[in-house]
Amino acid sequence: MSADALSLIPKADAKQSMKDFKSDQEVRWCPGCGDYAILAAVQGFLPELGLARENIVFISGIGCSSRFPYYMNTYGMHSIHGRAPAIATGLATTRRDLSVWVVTGDGDALSIGGNHLIHALRRNVNLKILLFNNRIYGLTKGQYSPTSEVGKITKSTPMGSLDAPFNPVSLALGAEASFVARTIDSDRKHLTEVLRQAAAHPGTALVEIYQNCNIFNDGAFDDLKDKNTALESLIRLEHGQPIRFGAEGAKGVVRDRATGDLCIVEVTEDNEADILVHDAHAASPTTAFALSRLADPQTLHHTPVGVLRSVRRPVYDNAMADQLDAAVEQKGKGDLAALLAGNDTWTVVG
Amino acid sequence: MTSQVSSPAEPPAPGEQSKPGKEIRRLDRVIVRFAGDSGDGMQLTGDRFTSETASFGNDLSTLPNFPAEIRAPAGTLPGVSSFQVHFADHDILTPGDRPDVLVAMNPAALKANVADLPRGAEIIVNTDEFTKRAMAKVGYDTSPLEDGALEAYNVHPVPLTTMTVEALKDFGLSRKEAERSKNMFALGLLSWMYHRPTAGTERFLRTKFAKKPQLAEANITAFRAGWNFGETTEDFAVTYEVAPAQAAFPPGTYRNISGNLALAYGLVAASQQADLPLFLGSYPITPASDILHELSKHKNFGVRTFQAEDEIAGIGAALGAAFGGSLAVTTTSGPGVALKSETIGLAVSLELPLLIVDIQRGGPSTGLPTKTEQADLLQAMYGRNGEAPVPIVAPSTPGDCFDAALDAARIALTYRTPVFLLSDGYLANGSEPWRIPDIGELPDLRVQFATTPNHTDADGNQHFWPYLRDPQTLARPWALPGTPGLEHRIGGIEKHDGSGNISYDPANHDLMVRTRQAKVDGIKVPDIVVDDPTGDARTLVIGWGSTYGPITAAVRRTRQAGGEIAQAHLRHLNPFPANLGEALARYRNVIVPEMNLGQLAHLLRARYLVDAASHTQVTGLPFKAEQLAARLQEAVAQGLTKEAAHVR
Ligand SMILES: Cc1ncc(C[n+]2csc(CCOP(=O)(O)OP(=O)(O)O)c2C)c(N)n1
Ligand code: SF4
Ligand SMILES: [Mg+2]
């Protein structure tokens, strides 16, 4: 699968290191912000792709997370709130020799930019979208976001927020995404492995990264990070492996025969054979969607992480390039003089 | 197909030779209006008549006028669709004020259009549709064909539907199917009346119905039946000849072209001349969608068209493509521009080339989607947050949309800036003969991308500074992703002059705001040319965009009536031509006709402290030359009074 996604992108001449990907700009997130860990993971992982640095582009919207491109020694654009997927779509469809990454926040991607996000996913443009989800508006100093839990007390919701949150993974699956994954800022190894698979994916890859905003929503993911609680609350998905979690894999996911839905059970000798085996490449998104719904929207208890879905389908930019080639094949290369003249002309002689 | 106009062959009659005894009258110009129900095919009929007229070598100008509804209820006034064509043996400038001939396919078409006719006009009515019910639907209690309401006109009652069905009786079509060809019958009749060539229409029908040859033949039969009817009936005693407009056209090869088509071709030409792939990001909207449709056909020119999820994504994708080195375009109308504003501001800040094509329509809000207006000038000029200057180019005629597109591309590419191209519904759908340019005449638009670092620091290290400007144009370098060593980040946050790094420094922001303004102010545009034949005029009329035709026609009338008036027309609205202030100052009286409430006048008054008077019309229709001429004559008189007062 990896060949296609990166095959058109020129390779670096020399071996690269993390340092090569650091720009000369001082990083200005709050000390302790989860964004630092994600930046380090990305800078640490890119050398292994071995792509020519000049052929990598990071495009972001607006938000704390969207400052990301300034810190990458690649090409980059810090654009406007919510529009990065649209801008990146124009770049990726015209330049298949580039590896185009979008960096966005939960407000940027799911509130103001929700429309662009779902359409990018539906089109399957060759983009890697990193959605930094801190369940809060960081840059505007702490209003609730479309991923905040109901009842969240913030400056704009002193009596608690009223609206139900999006589950970004469920949303992406519903938007026909061909690659959907979730990971956590503090788990460098997991984050890197997810990035690796996203980079190799031909088409749009959406990676939701839980990111701690220690200023306005500190500890939002502690339950998933704390070694003791994580055992119970986090479900690590691995393609081809039975979905088990808890102390010594005491719990597992099975399909309810009556409803077809997924549910969590204590694993016993009797039901061990029924434990669902994760298939990220399943043609239908149904099971991936059901997995995404295991998480409690308030507490994030039973949150699946890892690659939920990774399937192949036609990539928009390739399809567009094919149409251009087909047009040349059918009509010949465009002849401007013939185009301007058209079919009905008359001549005026002097 | 090419025909020679210098020795026009007599149009071949599809039927027998012209009967002796029918009088032939020579006319210098004619205005014909086809009007019918939305479903009657009036736009197609008008288009075909126009093509015949163009290939015959007349000068012409057209005005399609159709409802916003796709199929308004049949037979109602809101459902009336019309197409006006003005053709002449000399050069003309407008689709004409008042039709000499009205073809009315039903009572609604008659009712909606009769008030525009001068006394003595010819009206051809399809009597089959004048049933009691159809007439009652539009408020005719008695038949206008019988109650004397049309006494002032020369009415030709023709049972168009019946005769069409009769002509097609051997085709085995249902009555409904056969009736559909009645527009071709009407076209045949008019083609006979005005000696139009017919081969083009027959060829067109064969191509259009290539997959249904029987329908092609049926339509051709109806078309010929219409011609033959004119030939044989006693009711039409006269045919008219309008000679080709040889003197009006410089030598060359010509075609008929609409504004939107010319604009689309101009974009393709600009991409070829710049040697950059064309990228269009767009969301469908009347009257701009035709450009998206047209460009979508030309993928073999390397043109990529992207139908986005909304106008914001349309311009966003275009901006992304510009970053990657495409000639990027977004096309829309006023409501779409409103949505794109924030991204236009980003383009101003990123200083990337980008064309924003606004085919203006009636506003505000949804307004009049299928009608014309020029009320987006101030939106283009100022409709963004912060100081965000954007150059504005406005074509003046349908054919001029081609040159204007090339000009807008030149500015965008040379100065690395978004550029507005302000066309409108009248130019978009109207058409005129267009001299096909020689490819060799087109401007060279090739650009130089940055390939090497442009800055050396104190330690002798080489860097690429994305905001280190060309001292002449103030344009910044365009470094494409994929260029080694020039990796850089750009964004909408204020950046440091030169390095482009984020900067919140007050003095730097002041400098950057002024520099972006200076760059746009310094764009080279040709001087304005004032047409003042005697040099004695005291009054200047100045317009912009699509009012060129009506204003020029009104100026001619004014001069014929003995009024001395000077005329100037603006293609560049930002920046204005360098000599504009001086040109305005030469006249005591300045009048500015616009299809808005005085937006250009406002800009001129503010910029040049000139006492410019506005003459405005926002009917959704272009100015009529006659009315405008009356206003210009008043202005000439005012100019003389002011002059006298001044001299005293
Ligand atoms: C058009 C527009 N509206 C509002 C804003 C203000 N704004 C900036 S960032 C932001 C929310 C950011 O939240 P998120 O996307 O979650 O990013 P985070 O800061 O949390 O990383 C808002 C509302 C803006 N910059 N532009
Ligand atoms: S406000 Fe929150 S998200 Fe933003 S930089 Fe600070 S810690 Fe990070
Ligand atoms: Mg956030």
H or E segment and range at residue B3 = strand B2-4
Of B256, B313, B489, the CB nearest to A70: B489
Q: What mean pLDDT comes out for the span A201-219?
A: 98
Task: Determine the distance in angstroms separating the CA of B364 from the nearest CA of chain A, rounded to an integer.
Answer: 25
**The predicted structure's pLDDT at residue B71:** 80
Record the tokens describing residue B192, joined without a space. 């006979």
Task: Compute how many other C-beta atoms are within 10 angstroms of the C-beta atom of residue A2.
Answer: 13
> How far apart, in whole angstroms, are the C-alpha atoms of residue B9 and residue B23?
19
**Half-sphere exposure in the Cβ direction for A347 (13 Å, CA):** 7
Which tens digit of pLDDT belongs to each residue from B605-619? 999 999 999 999 999
**Which residue's CA is the nearest one to ligand 2's atom 8?**
A33
Q: How far is CA B443 from the centre of its chain?
A: 22
**The predicted structure's pLDDT at residue B21:** 66
Of B5, B326, B502, the CB nearest to A94: B326
> How far apart, in whole angstroms, are the C-alpha atoms of residue A107 and residue B217?
61
Nearest CA in chain A to B253: A347
Q: Read off the DSSP letter of residue A57.
A: E
Beta bridge partners of B124: B103, B156
Cβ contact, residue pair B299, A70, below 8 Å: no
Record the tokens describing residue B164, joined without a space. 């069409």
Cα B339 to middle of ligand 3, angstroms: 24
Strands A244-245, A251-255: parallel, antiparallel or unpaired by DSSP? antiparallel
Chain A residues with CB-CB distance to B256 below 8 A: 344
H or E segment and range at residue A171 = helix A168-174
Residues 6+ apart with CB under 8 A from B335: B285, B363, B365, B366
H or E segment and range at residue B489 = strand B489-491
Chain B residues with CB-CB distance to A103 below 8 A: none
The Cα-based distances of B22 to B186, B239, B242, B549 in angstroms read 19, 7, 16, 36
**The predicted structure's pLDDT at residue B15:** 43
Beta bridge partners of A105: A132
Task: Determine the distance in angstroms separating the CA of B256 from the nearest CA of chain A, rounded to an integer.
Answer: 8
Enumerate residues with CB within 5 Å of ligand 3 (an ion).
Answer: A 105-106, 134
Amino acid at B17: Q
The atom number, within ligand 2, closest to the CA of A30 reads 6
Task: Determine the distance in angstroms separating the CA of B83 from the nearest CA of chain A, rounded to an integer.
Answer: 20
Asked if A350 has any chain B CB less than 8 Å from its own CB, the reply is yes
Of B249, B300, B486, the CB nearest to A333: B300
Task: Determine the distance in angstroms separating the CA of B43 from the nearest CA of chain A, rounded to an integer.
Answer: 18
Chain B residues with CB-CB distance to A328 below 8 A: 299-300
The atom number, within ligand 2, closest to the CA of A141 reads 1
Q: Is B616 helix (H, G, I), strand (E, B) or coil?
A: strand
**DSSP per-residue string spanning B619-647:** SSSPPPHHHHHHHHHHHHHHHHHHHHHHH
Which tens digit of pLDDT belongs to each residue from A99-148? 999 999 999 999 999 999 999 999 999 999 999 999 999 999 999 999 99
**Does the Cβ of A63 fall within 6 Å of ligand 2?**
no
Between positions 193 and 232 of A, the ones with CB within 8 A of B are none
Amino acid at B105: M
Task: Compute how many other C-beta atoms are within 10 angstroms of the C-beta atom of residue A311.
Answer: 18
Of A10, A344, A348, the CB nearest to B200: A344
Chain B residues with CB-CB distance to A25 below 8 A: 489, 501-502
> How far apart, in whole angstroms, are the C-alpha atoms of residue A94 and residue B327?
11
Q: Which ligand number lies closest to the CA of residue A66?
A: 1
**Does the Cβ of A104 fall within 6 Å of ligand 2?**
no
Please list the ranges in chain B whose pLDDT falls under 50. Answer: 1-18
Cβ contact, residue pair B300, A98, below 8 Å: no
> How far apart, in whole angstroms, are the C-alpha atoms of residue B587 and residue A17?
70
Task: Determine the distance in angstroms separating the CA of A194 from the nearest CA of chain B, rounded to an integer.
Answer: 26
The atom number, within ligand 2, closest to the CA of A34 reads 8
Nearest CA in chain B to A325: B300
Which tens digit of pLDDT belongs to each residue from A300-334? 999 999 999 999 999 999 999 999 999 999 999 99
> How far apart, in whole angstroms, are the C-alpha atoms of residue B353 and residue B495?
18
Cα A113 to middle of ligand 3, angstroms: 13
Cα A215 to middle of ligand 2, angstroms: 6
Cβ contact, residue pair A95, B325, below 8 Å: yes
The Cα-based distances of B358 to A271, B387, B402, B427 in angstroms read 65, 21, 15, 12
**The predicted structure's pLDDT at residue B8:** 35
Of B251, B281, B484, the CB nearest to A348: B251
Beta bridge partners of A303: A234
Nearest CA in chain A to B437: A340
> How far apart, in whole angstroms, are the C-alpha atoms of residue B98 and residue B115?
9
**The predicted structure's pLDDT at residue A123:** 98
> How far apart, in whole angstroms, are the C-alpha atoms of residue B637 and residue B635?
5
Question: pTM value?
Answer: 0.94
Cα A72 to middle of ligand 3, angstroms: 20
> How far apart, in whole angstroms, are the C-alpha atoms of residue B463 and residue B113?
68
**Phi, psi of B127, rounded to the nearest 5 degrees:** -65, -25
Peptide bond into A10 cis (omega under 30): no
**The predicted structure's pLDDT at residue B20:** 55
**Does the Cβ of A108 fall within 6 Å of ligand 2?**
no
Asked if A257 has any chain B CB less than 8 Å from its own CB, the reply is no
Contact B287, B333 (CB under 8 A): yes
Which of B60, B255, B323 to mutate to probe the A interface, most A CBs <10 Å?
A: B323
Cα A101 to middle of ligand 3, angstroms: 18
Residues in chain A: 350
**The predicted structure's pLDDT at residue B22:** 82
Please, what is the average pLDDT of chain B? 95
The atom number, within ligand 2, closest to the CA of A134 reads 3
Interchain CB contacts (distance < 8 Å): A and B: 222
> How far apart, in whole angstroms, are the C-alpha atoms of residue B130 and residue B159?
10
Contact A287, A279 (CB under 8 A): yes
> How far apart, in whole angstroms, are the C-alpha atoms of residue A39 and residue A185?
9
Task: Determine the distance in angstroms separating the CA of B537 from the nearest CA of chain A, rounded to an integer.
Answer: 34
Which tens digit of pLDDT belongs to each residue from B147-181? 999 999 999 999 999 999 999 999 999 999 999 99
Residues 6+ apart with CB under 8 A from A205: A127, A128, A129, A178, A179, A180, A181, A197, A198, A199
Contact B590, B542 (CB under 8 A): yes
Q: Is A206 helix (H, G, I), strand (E, B) or coil?
A: strand
Strands B462-463, B455-456: parallel, antiparallel or unpaired by DSSP? antiparallel
Asked if A115 has any chain B CB less than 8 Å from its own CB, the reply is yes
Cβ contact, residue pair B302, A324, below 8 Å: yes
Between positions 274 and 293 of A, the ones with CB within 8 A of B are none
Q: What is the ipTM of this complex?
A: 0.98
Q: Read off the DSSP letter of residue A149.
A: P
Cα A125 to middle of ligand 1, angstroms: 24
Nearest CA in chain B to A24: B501
Task: Compute how many other C-beta atoms are within 10 angstroms of the C-beta atom of residue A155.
Answer: 12
Task: Compute how many other C-beta atoms are within 10 angstroms of the C-beta atom of residue B606.
Answer: 9
With pLDDT > 90 as the criterion, what percentage of chain B qualifies? 93
Asked if A95 has any chain B CB less than 8 Å from its own CB, the reply is yes
Closest listed residue to residue B36, CA positions, set B115, B101, B106, B93: B106
Of A55, A90, A97, the CB nearest to B316: A90
**Phi, psi of B489, rounded to the nearest 5 degrees:** -120, 135
The atom number, within ligand 2, closest to the CA of A65 reads 3
Q: Read off the DSSP letter of residue A135.
A: S
Closest listed residue to residue B357, CA positions, set B399, B407, B320: B407
Question: Where residue A5 falls among pLDDT bands split at 50, 70, 90?
Answer: confident
Closest listed residue to residue A281, CA positions, set A197, A210, A190: A197
Mutate to test the pocket of ligand 2, among A26, A27, A28, A35 (most ligand atoms within 8 A of CB): A35
> How far apart, in whole angstroms, are the C-alpha atoms of residue A214 and residue A138?
10
Cβ contact, residue pair A98, B324, below 8 Å: yes
**Phi, psi of B645, rounded to the nearest 5 degrees:** -60, -40
Q: What mean pLDDT comes out for the span A54-62?
A: 98
Asked if A97 has any chain B CB less than 8 Å from its own CB, the reply is yes
Of B265, B316, B484, the CB nearest to A86: B316
> How far apart, in whole angstroms, are the C-alpha atoms of residue B31 and residue B20?
26
> How far apart, in whole angstroms, are the C-alpha atoms of residue A67 and residue B131?
71
Nearest CA in chain A to B270: A336
